[in-house]
Chain A
Amino acid sequence: MARGGDSLLRRLLRDRAAFPAAIVLSVMLFAGICAPWIVPQDSNDPGELELWDSLRPPIWSLSDDDEPQRAEGIVYLLGTDDQGRDMLSAILLGLRVSLLVGFSVVAISSVTGTTLGIIAGYVGGRVEMIIMRIADITLSFPSILVALFILSLWKEGGLERVIIAICSVRWVAYARTSRGCTLSEKEKDYVTAARALGQRPIKIMFRHIFPNVLSPLAIIAAVEIAMVIMLEATLSFLGVGTPITEPSLGMLIKNGYEDLLSGNWWITVFPGLALVALVFSINVLVDWLRDTLNPHLAAAAGARQRAE
């Protein structure tokens, strides 16, 4: 939405908060996506780890009398954990898992939630009642509890169980919003016209109504990415999240928890900082995007949406 010939990109470049956030986020996205090819060590492969090199502090706090490292060709920039795992590699691979879960959940839950919401709003009647009652029941629990419950029962499997568990609680926001929008769109002339032309309900719902409910949903989806990444990290921290073979940032933080108490802070602090940097840069960008795309939307609406 350009205003006065000013493109969105140019306004991003000028913003003192959003621009650095965009850079941080792009670097993290790039690092996460390319992680398997750029990491110094495949830290998820036990065969690559040197136990001799365990619990090395970050490179700048090494003292002169520290032993030289055993593994060849690796500089342990951010130190190693108690298994000799290079923390930098572990963080990049963990970042990849966190991003993968975050984006998959938002993609799946937004499509499902929006579809259900539009159907509920357009069709009405018993269908609407059933869908919205299920949404109400889901909402009568905090999402962390439901996801925790599902994952504690469904122990076997890989990332897909985390993705499905989180999707099953996060579709509700899209469903409620798209239903609300559909209810008001349904009354408008273009829908009546389409119906009078004899178009099929499916086509009316997804060709005509869908584009008009898209913009509020886009903002929700953006906020959700940050929320979902944090939720996944929390679940992994509680020990029911990502499998050991594919540790996310949350799981790395959990693994370093014991070491934190004995003073080996880097094993927990660096994955944690990576997680906070990721979520923070997304949140800064979302705030900026919301203000830029919709200046009439007061700050209050944004804060309220977040609080839900």
Chain B
Amino acid sequence: MSRVLCLRLAQTVIVLFAVSLIVFVVLRFAGDPVLQMLPRNHTQAQYDATRARLGLDLPLHIQYGRFIVNAVHGDLGTSYVHSVPAVDLILGKLPATLELATAAMLFAICLAFPLGMLAAMRPHGILARVILTGSLLGISMPTFFIGLMFIFLFAVLPNILGVEWLPSMPAGGRGECVAILGLRFSFLTLDGIRHLAMPAMTLGLYYLAVLLRLIRGEMIQELNEDYVRVARAKGLSEASVTVKHALRNALIPVVTVMGMQFGGLIAFSLVTETIFQWPGMGKLLIDSIGLNDQPVVMAYLLLVAVIFVTINLVVDLLYTVIDPRVRVQA
């Protein structure tokens, strides 16, 4: 196991190197950040001084060497716009994004399991058809459109129509936050939850649809297996057969996809955060791209790569817990 872990970690490092090199080279050709930082009527001397201060006057390979040395020390450069270390800036926004992604995931899981299993138990019933069509519709709606429709339904329409039956919800910001260990979270106050509800549902709906279909498919397959017939023949209750026997075996692919989708949630949260003005990493990335704030963009991409690779590794390790027959390969 430890040998596998080492190999995977080595692979991770190689991927991060490749990513950083590509991004670094591309960013250096993407416009001159010095021009953006200086006032329009700057002198050549000012320009040269700023360029030298940022180290942008050195040859490219030396710049990259410096970047790597600093990166190994946990320094991914200083934001050109905010003048704080890019790592701090992003880690400061990480809790908000993680909170949103976790809430979305919980929303998706809590609904996907019961609905998916219901649809699998009577695959040709009306309920199954409704659930399945609904989920296909969920897959067919881009996250941003879901978000806009939620805003329309819960924030705009109640005001226009003046109706009471539609719950009006705030569509921006995090609301009232509570600090735990210095990190601010929304989910502990009622106002915070009201702010969290719409973005989390927006982000979670697509994953709900994907998970639901997967759970249904796997469950149908498992329910046709011999061991289920044996369990039924033994006289076990239907609930026990579905939950204890079939679901357990259906869980492996489901856990894989859930894990991989969490990375996707973090990536897609940039759309949701932009719509709902949620102050997380994704919104920071969009803002930084607009301002050509290269160190922040670089730090964000590297962090997301780390998150993705870590998730893949954790998912592989989880396999061995759920199914002891599986051996993780490097």
Q: Which residue from A145, A269, A306 sits with its C-beta under 8 Å from B304?
A: A145
Cα of A284 to Cα of B133 in the assembled complex, Å:
9
Interface flag for A233 (CB, 8 Å): yes
Contact A137 B274, CB 8 Å, known A275-B145, A276-B145, A298-B221? no
- Are A303 and B145 neighbours in the complex by a CB distance under 8 Å? no
Do B142 and A140 touch across chains, with their CB atoms under 8 A apart?
no
Contact residues in B for A308 (Cβ distance below 8 Å) = 260
B136 & A283 in contact (Cβ 8 Å cutoff): yes
Could you say which of B19, B148, B308 contacts A253, with CB atoms under 8 Å apart?
B148
Report yes or no: A141 in contact with B268, Cβ–Cβ below 8 A. Answer: no
The answer to whether A140 touches B15, judged by C-beta atoms less than 8 angstroms apart, is yes
Binds B, one of A68-76, A82-90, A259-267: A259-267
Which residues of A (218-275) have their CB < 8 Å from a CB of B?
226, 230, 233-234, 237-238, 250, 253, 257, 260-261, 263, 265, 268-269, 272, 275
Chain A CB count within 10 A is highest, among B136, B156, B257, B261, for B136
**Known: A145-B304, A237-B271, A303-B216. Is A276-B140 also a contact (CB below 8 A)?**
yes
Q: Measured between alpha carbons, how far is A276 from B149 in the docked complex, in Å?
A: 12
Q: Is the interface of B mostly helix, strand, loop or mixed?
A: helix
Residue from B216, B261, B289 within 8 A of A307 (CB atoms): B261
Rounded to whole angstroms, the CA-CA distance of A308 and B253 in the bound complex is 11
A307–B271 contact, CB under 8 A?
no
Q: In whole Å, how far is B311's beta carbon from the nearest beta carbon of chain A? A: 10
- Kindly identify, within residues 197 to 217 of chain B, every residue whose CB is under 8 Å from any CB belonging to chain A: 210-211, 213-214, 216-217
Task: State whether A304 touches B217 (Cβ < 8 A).
Answer: yes
Q: How far is the CB of A136 from chain B (nearest CB, A)?
A: 7
A237 to B141, CA, bound (A): 13
Q: Are B156 and A230 in contact (CB under 8 A)?
A: no
Residues A234 and B143 in contact in the complex (CB < 8 Å), given A272-B149, A300-B218, A307-B261: yes
Residue among A237, A257, A283 with the highest chain B CB neighbour number at 10 A: A237
Instruction: Tell whether A149 is near chain B: CB-to-CB under 8 Å.
Output: yes
The residues of A that contact B301 with a CB separation of less than 8 Å are 141, 145, 149
- Kindly state whether residue A212 has any CB partner on chain B within 8 Å: no
- Interface size for chain A: under 10, 10 to 19, 20 to 34, or 35 or more residues? 35 or more
Task: A234 to B297: give the CA distance in the assembly, Å.
Answer: 19
Q: B residues within 8 A CB of A307?
A: 210-211, 213-214, 257, 260-261
* Nearest chain B residue, comparing its CB with the CB of A298: B221
Residues of B with C-beta under 8 A to A257? 148
Asked if B26 and A234 make an inter-chain contact with CB atoms under 8 angstroms apart, the answer reads no
Interface residue from A137, A152, A280 paired with B136 (Cβ < 8 Å)? A280
Q: Give the chain A neighbours of B271 by CB distance below 8 A.
A: 144, 234, 237-238
- Report whether over half of chain A's contact residues are helix, strand or loop; otherwise say mixed: helix
Known: A237-B271, A253-B144. A142 touches B151 (CB 8 A): no
Q: List residues of chain A with CB within 8 A of the CB of B274.
A: 238
Q: Is the CB of B217 within 8 A of A299?
A: yes
Interface membership of chain B positions 11-25, coded 1 if the CB is closer than 8 angstroms to chain A and 0 otherwise = 000010011000100
> Which residues of B have CB within 8 Å of A144?
267-268, 270-271
- Let me know if B139 and A306 touch, CB within 8 A: yes
Q: Which residues of A contact B18 (CB under 8 A)?
A: 137
Contact with A along B218-250 (1 / 0, CB 8 A): 101100000000000000000000000000000
Given A145-B304, A276-B140: A260 in contact with B148 (beta carbons within 8 A): yes
Q: In the complex, what residue of chain A is closest to B289 when comparing beta carbons?
A: A152
Q: Known pairs A137-B18, A230-B142. 11 more at Cβ < 8 A? A: A141-B304, A141-B308, A149-B301, A226-B140, A234-B142, A234-B144, A272-B148, A279-B142, A303-B210, A303-B213, A306-B213
| A interface residues, Cβ below 8 angstroms from B | 17, 136-137, 140-142, 144-145, 148-149, 152-153, 226, 230, 233-234, 237-238, 250, 253, 257, 260-261, 263, 265, 268-269, 272, 275-276, 279-280, 282-284, 287, 298-304, 306-308
28 A–B pairs (Cβ distance < 8 Å), ordered by A: A140-B309, A144-B268, A149-B301, A234-B271, A238-B271, A253-B144, A260-B152, A263-B160, A269-B149, A269-B152, A272-B145, A276-B137, A276-B140, A279-B141, A298-B217, A298-B220, A299-B213, A299-B220, A299-B221, A300-B214, A302-B217, A303-B213, A303-B214, A304-B253, A304-B257, A306-B210, A307-B214, A307-B261
**Which 3 pairs across A and B sit closest by C-beta, in order of nearness?**
A300-B217, A142-B267, A280-B140
